[in-house]
Amino acid sequence: MTIRRISSGGAFEAKIGYCRAVVAGGFVHVAGTVAAGPEVPQGVAEQCQSALEVIGAALSEAGCGFGDVVRVTYYLPDAAEFETCWPVLRAAFAEHPPAATMIECNLIDPKYRIEIEVTALLPEG
């Protein structure tokens, strides 16, 4: 089995020692992802959108997209903020909603309001 690693060049990847995504066994495993960029948006919905953009880029580099995601886990320090993200998530997954779990927990830095982790199935071909 071939393993391919995809880096997004994020600061935490180098500091902690991981990559954004790993392609293995017909699946793409995308690491927990928070909002990116030098100016992290304050709102949870805006952070959700930013994280999805990073995830989308990793999925695209792997050869798939949000329609191929089979599992998603959302991590939020305040579960009450999750509903604010629902329209953003519906738009991202559209007609292909994955199995999902939301967990309330602390994140790596208090400025982050949501972290998203996905697993996608690579299309055959």
Residues contacting residue 93 through CB under 8 Å, at least 6 positions apart? 66, 67, 69, 72
| CA-to-CA separations, 4 to 19, 31, 90, 116, 119, in angstroms, rounded | 10, 14, 29, 21, 14
Percent of the chain topping pLDDT 70: 99
Indicate whether 9 pLDDT > 90.
Answer: no
Neighbours of 58 (CB within 10 A): 24
pTM summary value: 0.95
Indicate whether 1 pLDDT > 80.
Answer: no
If one counts the domains in the chain, the total is 1
Confidence band of 125 (pLDDT split at 50, 70, 90): low
Could you tell me where the beta strands, DSSP code E, fall in the chain?
4-6, 21-24, 27-33, 69-76, 99-104, 115-121
**CATH number of the domain within which 96 lies:** 3.30.1330.40
pLDDT digits (tens, 9 = 90+) for 11-23: 788 888 999 999 9
Domain that holds residue 85: 4-121
Confidence band of 77 (pLDDT split at 50, 70, 90): very high
